[in-house]
Amino acid sequence: MPATCVVGLQWGDEAKGKIVDLLCDQHDVVVRYQGGANAGHTVVIAGVTYKLSLVPTGVLRPHVDCVVGNGVVVHPPALLKELSGLAALGVDFSGRFHVSDRSHVIFPYHLEEERLTEESASSSDHLGTTRRGIGPCYRDKVGRVHGVRMADLAHPRPFRERLERIIAYKNRLLAAMLDDFTPFDARAIGDEYLEYGRQLAPYIRNTSEWLHQALESGRRVMFEGAQGSLLDVDHGSYPYVTSSNSSASGIAAGSGAPARSIDRWIGVVKAYTTRVGGGPFPTEQDNETGERIRRVGNEFGTVTGRPRRCGWFDVVAARHAARVSGTTELAVMLLDVLSGIPELKVATAYERNGRRTTEFPGSIIDLEETTPIYESLPGWIQDLRGVTTWDALPAPARRYVEFLGAQLGLPVSIVSVGPDRDQTIRVR
């Protein structure tokens, strides 16, 4: 049974959670394959608000199995807190929540390392991370010497011995860098994490094997990307990216399921662009238009509460992301937010050193020096939040969506005009 993937084609927060939630009716399994508790989304069902971060959105549907794949980095206390919050709201996930035994574990020293790098960085090197220890944990994973996986928590003696060595090293490093550093206590952290391991043991398994069996038995699987493709560590606006492959390119590595199992690749975009954290953003509108989009779209980070930077739709960046992710269809979100703006702009090319280009640059310097070339489209004044069919959209709104699809060379299958499930237009 072919699988589906849902990925963001911008800098995150494209409202992928709503698409995943909608498609849960047609799927039996939802898989996270990268990132960690840096992602966050809020789902409101029947007046109850659910805040999810590490746990896939599918957990709110009783028929859906949820998998945290090997490519995800897990902070056990954050995961346990999220699970107990869900249990308190009456969500029963027993037997249908699975965490990879190969996923890497975030420790307190990762949070401290990140605080140190973020606070000591000069303003131009400041990445503006979510400070969830994501980057330092992935650094230890790739470095191998200091990486710890969920499976290791099931072996107390070797785990403690290894943690002693890791913490001795981290303490030496951090003491040299910080004036008022209180060393980490390997024994206390060992006790704490072994207890987390015991509490999480019912969920930890070989999720790659589990997924292969699910696919072979005909279960319908959906892969849920966190962050957006432009934050991908290889294909995004490096170094202002997250530390994982947040485009669809991360699916096979981060889940153990082959990419050939997928035949539907949905790219999710906002009708405009936002970004949270540092880094170049060619179409940013640091002006009244940007403020209006932020206010109407409630563009504040779910995890950190930071105001998101807002700007016009960037075709160059989104087309690059769509190609990298192999997108076959487009979902255009938050179209309602643009109502009332008389003239809408869309960047269809960049200009750099007097030359026009439609290529997304690899160098951050080039991206910073880029000037967008805009095309203007007429706006509309009607409130779209009650519109439920394509034909009922005002003609300029239809033209705007068609323009985005044509520019990206993709059919638009879904248009969203509000947070609720019914505020969704299926396009013919």
Stretch that binds ligand IMP, among 122-130, 199-207, 328-336, 345-353 (CB under 6 A): 122-130
106 lies in the binding site for ligand IMP (CB under 6 A): no
Identify the residue among 102, 132, 170, 235 touching ligand IMP (CB under 6 A).
132
Cβ-closest position to ligand IMP: 277
Give the DSSP letter string of 336-348: GGGTT-SEEEEEE
Exposure b/e, 73-101, CB count within 10 A at least 16 = b? bbbbebbeebbeebeeeebebeebbbbbb
Question: Cβ(236)–Cβ(230) under 8 Å?
Answer: yes
| Cβ closest to ligand IMP, residue 301 vs residue 405 | 301
Residues numbered 361-420 forming contacts with ligand IMP, rule: CB under 6 A: none
Q: How far apart are the C-alpha atoms of 126 and 277, rounded to whole Å? A: 9
Stretch that binds ligand IMP, among 125-133, 164-172, 309-317, 385-393 (CB under 6 A): 125-133
Task: Name the catalytic one among 13, 101, 152, 232.
Answer: 13
Stretch that binds ligand IMP, among 105-113, 130-138, 186-194, 404-412 (CB under 6 A): 130-138
Stretch that binds ligand IMP, among 124-132, 361-369, 390-398, 417-425 (CB under 6 A): 124-132
Q: How far apart are the C-alpha atoms of 15 and 8, rounded to whole Å? A: 8
> CB of residue 133 vs ligand IMP: minimum separation in angstroms?
8
Residues numbered 250-289 forming contacts with ligand IMP, rule: CB under 6 A: 276-277
| Cβ closest to ligand IMP, residue 115 vs residue 399 | 115
Across the beta sheet with 97-100, the strand order is 204-205, 97-100, 65-68, 29-32, 221-224, 3-8, 262-270, 329-333, 412-416, 424-426
12 lies in the binding site for ligand IMP (CB under 6 A): yes
232 lies in the binding site for ligand IMP (CB under 6 A): no
Using alpha carbons only, what angle is made at residue 134 by residues 136 and 94, rounded to the nearest 5 degrees?
135
Stretch that binds ligand IMP, among 79-87, 126-134, 175-183, 404-412 (CB under 6 A): 126-134
> CB of residue 382 vs ligand IMP: minimum separation in angstroms?
30
Question: Cβ(275)–Cβ(286) under 8 Å?
Answer: no
127 lies in the binding site for ligand IMP (CB under 6 A): yes
Task: Name the catalytic one among 27, 28, 41, 235.
Answer: 41
**Across-strand partners of 255?**
none
Residues numbered 13-42 forming contacts with ligand IMP, rule: CB under 6 A: 13, 38-39
The answer to whether residue 13 is catalytic is yes
> CB of residue 30 vs ligand IMP: minimum separation in angstroms?
16
The answer to whether residue 63 is catalytic is no
**Across-strand partners of 66?**
30, 97
242 lies in the binding site for ligand IMP (CB under 6 A): yes
229 lies in the binding site for ligand IMP (CB under 6 A): no
Identify the residue among 134, 330, 347, 404 touching ligand IMP (CB under 6 A).
134
Q: How far apart are the C-alpha atoms of 350 and 248, rounded to whole Å? A: 25
What's the chain's Rg over C-alpha atoms?
22
Whether the upstream peptide bond of residue 202 has omega within 30° of 0, thus cis, is no
80 to 176, 187, 203, 404: CA distances (angstroms):
33, 21, 11, 41
Q: Are strands 48-52 and 97-100 parallel, antiparallel or unpaired?
A: unpaired
Which residues form the catalytic set?
Answer: 13, 41
Residues of this chain that interact with ligand IMP (CB under 6 A) are 12-13, 38-39, 127-130, 132, 134-135, 226-227, 231, 242-243, 276-277
